[in-house]
């Protein structure tokens, strides 16, 4: 670890971003800011649910369910079971303790508070050292085009188990969304920017599509801040989620090279797994410096190891 922790901003979705964020927080503590995708957010039972934010928050708080990759360890579902008895849809079940997060967040939003302010307070209450910032305070909703028409992301992801083929995507509300002062300040002060091993289309692209964020990232690059992207595709398969299938259905190659192509002109360094080492020359031909390492994060040691490799790749730790 560097003697002085570099002020680092990571752009992230859910599980992959949460795991790498956990490793980076162990190295960087309060010097880490995670900007999370909010395009996956949805309303359930009158409450605002922020799946990516909450996955990252629970993971960095050390209370995440390691077996599921989402939710809280030791969670119970008595409320969900009672809602089912009342005839409520049960395809997106909320745990009893998880519900407390959504209740507090929704009540404060209805009282006129900003999403960013509320999220930061929730994080502090759980003892999270890093800052986790929603990409915007505005409402943005990711939708995917399938043979059944346009579907809201969680309808596709959870209800339909990612089965439909995705041929296009859009971010409803993105034209009215702007980066928050907190996100812009973090990027302006950054010494390293990391793109997590998250889905490049439905996790990272919505963040970069928010007005002001990519411009701030490019301004950071122009002053010499390295941008390090980590592949979430290993051996042609997604570690978690539908990124490999989306790459193909959206006209790309399901490989680390296919992911690297999404970050040409955005990243400077690309981290790929040992099993994909033969792809390094083709990735370097895109103008990206490559780092080949073990990217699998099965435990805390794996998370810390990859975080160390990312920091070393940027020569900051």
Structural domain contains residue 180? yes
- Region 278-306: mean pLDDT is 96
pLDDT in the model for residue 240: 81
Residue 36 and residue 134 in contact, taking contact as beta carbons nearer than 8 Å: yes
pLDDT digit string, tens, across residues 79-107: 999 999 999 998 999 999 999 999 999 99
Structural domain contains residue 97? no
229 vs 5: which has the higher pLDDT: 229
Structural domain contains residue 278? yes
CA 36 to each of CA 31, 46, 164, 176: distance values in angstroms, whole numbers, following the listed order: 16, 22, 25, 18
Q: Is the pLDDT of residue 3 over 50?
A: no
Q: Is the pLDDT of residue 113 over 50?
A: yes
Structural domain contains residue 12? yes
Give the CATH number, domain containing residue 295: 3.40.50.10680
Number of domains observed in the structure of the chain? 1
- Region 42-49: mean pLDDT is 96
pLDDT digit string, tens, across residues 128-159: 999 999 999 999 999 999 999 999 999 999 99
Structural domain contains residue 109? no
Structural domain contains residue 34? yes
Residue tagged 């307070």 (tokens): 121
CA 199 to chain CA centroid, nearest Å? 8
Structural domain contains residue 25? yes
pTM of the prediction?
0.95
Range of the domain at 23: 8-42+129-313
Residue tagged 């077996």 (tokens): 67
pLDDT digit string, tens, across residues 191-226: 999 999 999 999 999 999 999 999 999 999 999 999
Report the share of the chain in percent with pLDDT over 70. 98
Report the share of the chain in percent with pLDDT over 90. 92
Structural domain contains residue 206? yes
Angstrom distance (rounded) from CA 260 to CA 270 = 7
Angstrom distance (rounded) from CA 289 to CA 286 = 9
């Amino acid at each position: 670890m560097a003697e002085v922790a570099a002020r680092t901003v990571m752009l992230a979705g859910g599980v992959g971003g949460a795991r790498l964020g956990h490793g980076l927080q162990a190295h960087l503590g309060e010097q880490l800011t995670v900007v999370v995708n909010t395009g996956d957010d949805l309303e359930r039972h009158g409450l605002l649910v922020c799946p990516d934010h909450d996955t990252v928050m629970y993971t960095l708080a050390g209370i995440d369910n390691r077996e599921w990759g989402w939710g809280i360890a030791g969670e119970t579902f008595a409320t969900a079971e009672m809602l089912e008895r009342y005839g409520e849809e049960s395809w997106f079940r909320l745990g009893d303790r998880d519900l407390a997060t959504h209740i507090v967040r929704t009540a404060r939003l209805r009282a006129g508070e900003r999403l960013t302010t509320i999220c930061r307070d929730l994080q502090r209450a759980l003892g999270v050292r890093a800052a986790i910032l929603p990409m915007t305070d505005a409402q943005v909703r990711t939708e995917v085009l399938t043979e059944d028409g346009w579907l809201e992301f969680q309808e596709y992801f959870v209800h339909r188990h990612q089965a439909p083929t995705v041929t296009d995507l859009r971010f409803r509300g993105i034209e009215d969304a702007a980066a928050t002062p907190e996100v812009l300040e973090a990027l302006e002060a950054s010494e390293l920017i990391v793109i997590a091993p998250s889905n490049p289309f439905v996790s990272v692209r919505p963040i970069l599509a928010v007005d002001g964020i990519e411009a701030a990232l490019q301004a950071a690059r122009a002053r010499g801040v390295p941008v390090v992207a980590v592949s979430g595709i290993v051996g042609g398969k997604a570690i978690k989620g539908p990124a490999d299938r989306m790459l193909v259905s959206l006209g790309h190659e399901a490989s680390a090279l296919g992911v690297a192509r999404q970050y040409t002109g955005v990243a400077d360094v690309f981290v790929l797994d040992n099993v994909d080492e033969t792809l390094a020359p083709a990735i370097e031909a895109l103008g990206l410096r490559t780092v080949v390492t073990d990217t699998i994060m099965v435990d805390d040691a794996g998370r810390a190891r990859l975080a160390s490799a990312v920091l070393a790749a940027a020569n900051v730790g």
